[in-house]
């Protein structure tokens, strides 16, 4: 019945976000249903038997031990991995296809702000099993220069402050070194600003440039 319900939900999940949440919960419901069914079978087979308390004890102990193992595995992996390599907040790491800036260090995982502004939790057990590269944004990022031709609007001082704010708001520019924005040329129709900022690599800098050009030149 659970399997049939899941197929029906899969067929219509794209029509409703509520159905998508139900689809996400379905595996947990399936596991619980099978667990309760197994408990019912044990009661039917061993009820009245002297081994019944022992069987029930093991039946409840096994999932508890599995959960404890998964938690302890990440805790131990974090202790071992931190002993080999120290991670610091605001450092950028690359773990497989995942790249981002460390925003928090938990007991069992690292919280990372990814390049697309999402948040991911990387278990220490995964970090210990993959090659992880790390770069400090404070000391290893490079300077990049952008020139923007912006139509005259408002005052150059306010526009300069807006550019600084928008560069610092992106996840691809350095949070440790503030950008430098200077007015280079002024005409009746436009202003030419030079934006100097630090970024981890040219790919990240290109994203900052695209955001600024879309926001100010178009």
Please report which residue ranges of 47-181 form alpha helices under DSSP H. 52-84, 124-129, 137-140, 156-169
pTM for the whole thing?
Answer: 0.40
**Element (H or E) spanning 150, and its range?**
strand 142-151
CATH topology of domain 141-216: Alpha-Beta Plaits (3.30.70)
Q: Which residue has the higher pLDDT, 194 or 61?
A: 194
Indicate where the chain has its CATH 3.30.70.100 domain(s): 141-216
**pLDDT per residue over 56-92, tens digit each?**
777 778 877 887 787 777 777 766 666 556 667 777 7
**pLDDT per residue over 143-192, tens digit each?**
889 999 999 888 889 999 999 999 988 888 877 778 889 999 888 888 99
**Closest-CA residue to 92 (of 29, 178, 172):** 172
CATH class of 85-138: mainly beta
pLDDT at position 11 over 50: no
What pLDDT was estimated at residue 21?
58
Indicate where the chain has its CATH 2.30.30.60 domain(s): 85-138
């Amino acid at each position: 019945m659970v399997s049939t319900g899941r197929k029906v939900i899969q067929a219509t999940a794209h029509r409703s976000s509520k159905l998508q949440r139900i689809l996400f919960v379905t595996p947990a419901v399936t596991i619980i249903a099978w667990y309760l069914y197994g408990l019912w079978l044990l009661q039917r087979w061993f009820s009245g038997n002297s081994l019944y308390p022992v069987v029930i004890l093991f039946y409840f102990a096994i999932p508890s031990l599995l959960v404890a193992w998964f938690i302890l595995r990440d805790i131990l992996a974090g202790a071992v991995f931190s002993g080999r390599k120290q991670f610091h907040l605001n450092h950028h790491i690359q773990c497989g296809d995942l790249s981002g800036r460390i925003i928090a260090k938990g007991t069992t995982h690292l919280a990372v702000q990814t390049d697309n502004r999402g948040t991911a939790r990387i278990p220490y057990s995964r970090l210990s099993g993959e090659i992880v590269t790390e770069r400090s944004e404070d000391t290893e990022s490079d300077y990049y220069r952008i020139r923007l031709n912006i139509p005259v609007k408002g005052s150059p001082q306010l526009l300069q402050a807006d550019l600084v704010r928008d560069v610092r708001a992106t996840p691809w520019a350095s949070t440790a070194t503030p950008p430098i924005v200077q007015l280079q040329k002024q005409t009746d129709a436009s202003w030419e600003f030079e934006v100097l900022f630090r970024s981890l690599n040219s790919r990240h800098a290109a994203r900052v440039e695209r955001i600024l050009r879309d926001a100010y030149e178009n």
